[in-house]
């Protein structure tokens, strides 16, 4: 039989072994729990990390999309700005080109105007010099006149115009329609040139004002005189602008009066036509005398003497060489 001490020792060892086992079991349980917890935690952590990664990726994607959107917006804005700038530049270029074209046109027009003005000035100076060189013509007797204006011619022309105007007014007072159709005279260069085929004669003022510009009075006078010459219509230079307007009862100056029908004033008409040849002869004689007086001033200087065989100019005959000098 074992003693009490041994029993106690065995019991103590068992007890200690039981404690050890319990402690080991508890340790293992704790380890297992910790391992499960750690595995669960790892799983949870991995899940959380996956969610966090997905969130981060989403955030990154959103950031990238925002950056891309901002970049595309910036590019679009830049393109728009470039397009607007290019449009503005084109507009400016077109405006500048238009301004340049306008400036060039203005320069060309100004050059043309200066040329025209220079030509007009030369023509005016030439005409003034011509008038100074030819004192036959003056302000009240222009250079288009072909005969001398005398008092007798003025009186007969005034009588003829008074008679023609009187008959025309009487006819118009009786029958306005008939008076408008059967005109005895017309006033002005334009109407006279238009009805030149019906004219019996033309009475033109000798003091029509000067107008050297193209399409002016000088051109109209020249056209009328050329038409009259072609159709052999006699032209009488008499009276003045003011007197012609007064005789025709028009309250303005009249450059010429074209007489279509002179019936009832035949005596005045024939008398006037008879005075014209003598007046033309006087005019031609006056022009000739003036030209002879001006001729010495307008003759060119004599030509220079020819050079000698030695290349020296000879001014007059050579003097004889004395025998001593030889």
Examine the domain organization and report whether 99 and 170 are in the same domain. no
Examine the domain organization and report whether 165 and 54 are in the same domain. no
pLDDT tens track, the chain, 326 positions: 456 666 666 656 655 555 556 666 666 666 666 655 555 566 666 666 666 667 777 777 777 676 666 666 666 666 676 666 666 666 666 666 666 667 777 777 777 777 777 877 777 776 666 655 556 778 888 989 999 999 999 999 999 999 999 999 998 898 888 888 889 999 999 999 999 999 999 999 999 988 878 888 889 999 999 999 999 999 999 999 999 999 999 889 999 999 999 999 999 999 999 999 999 999 999 888 877 765 554 444 445 445 444 444 444 444 454 454 43
- Report yes or no on 268 lying in a domain: yes
**Overall domain count for the chain:** 2
Examine the domain organization and report whether 271 and 155 are in the same domain. yes
Q: What is the pLDDT of residue 220?
A: 92
Q: Which domain holds residue 107?
A: 10-133
- Report yes or no on 304 lying in a domain: no
Examine the domain organization and report whether 200 and 239 are in the same domain. yes
Examine the domain organization and report whether 122 and 227 are in the same domain. no
| CATH number of 275's domain | 3.30.1330.30
Examine the domain organization and report whether 123 and 189 are in the same domain. no
Contact 193, 243 (CB under 8 A): no
- Report yes or no on 321 lying in a domain: no
Q: What is the pLDDT of residue 76?
A: 61
Examine the domain organization and report whether 156 and 281 are in the same domain. yes
Strands of the sheet containing 256-259, edge to edge, are 185-187, 256-259, 201-204, 235-237
Q: What is the pLDDT of residue 205?
A: 95
Examine the domain organization and report whether 84 and 35 are in the same domain. yes
Q: What is the 3-class SS of 155-196, one letter each residue?
A: HHHHHHHHHHHHHHHHHHHHCHHHHHHCCCEEECHHHHHHCH
């Amino acid at each position: 039989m074992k003693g009490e001490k041994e029993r106690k020792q065995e019991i103590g060892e068992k007890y200690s072994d039981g404690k050890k086992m319990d402690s080991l079991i508890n340790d293992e349980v704790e380890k297992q729990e910790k391992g499960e917890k750690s595995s669960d935690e790892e799983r949870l952590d991995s899940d959380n990390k996956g969610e966090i990664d997905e969130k981060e990726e989403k955030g990154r994607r959103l950031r990238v999309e925002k950056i891309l959107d901002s970049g595309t917006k910036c590019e679009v804005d830049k393109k728009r700005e470039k397009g607007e700038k290019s449009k503005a530049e084109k507009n400016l270029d077109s405006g500048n080109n238009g301004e340049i074209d306008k400036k060039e046109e203005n320069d060309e027009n100004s050059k043309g105007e200066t040329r025209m003005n220079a030509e007009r000035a030369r023509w005016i100076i030439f005409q003034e010099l011509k008038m100074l060189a030819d004192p036959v013509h003056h302000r009240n007797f222009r250079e288009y006149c072909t005969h001398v204006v005398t008092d007798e011619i003025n009186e007969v022309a005034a009588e003829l115009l008074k008679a023609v105007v009187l008959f025309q007014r009487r006819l118009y007072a009786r029958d306005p329609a008939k008076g408008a159709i059967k005109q005895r005279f017309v006033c002005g260069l334009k109407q006279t040139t238009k009805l030149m085929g019906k004219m019996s004669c033309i009475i033109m003022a000798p003091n029509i004002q000067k107008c050297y510009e193209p399409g002016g009075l000088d051109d109209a006078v020249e056209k009328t005189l050329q038409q009259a010459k072609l159709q052999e219509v006699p032209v009488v230079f008499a009276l003045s602008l003011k007197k012609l307007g007064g005789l025709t009862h028009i309250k303005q100056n009249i450059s010429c009066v074209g007489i279509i029908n002179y019936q009832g004033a035949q005596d005045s008409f024939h008398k006037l036509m008879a005075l014209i040849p003598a007046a033309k002869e006087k005019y031609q004689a006056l022009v000739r005398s003036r030209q002879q007086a001006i001729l010495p001033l307008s003759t060119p200087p004599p030509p220079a003497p020819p050079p000698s065989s030695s290349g020296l100019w000879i001014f007059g005959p050579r003097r004889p060489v004395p025998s001593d000098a030889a």
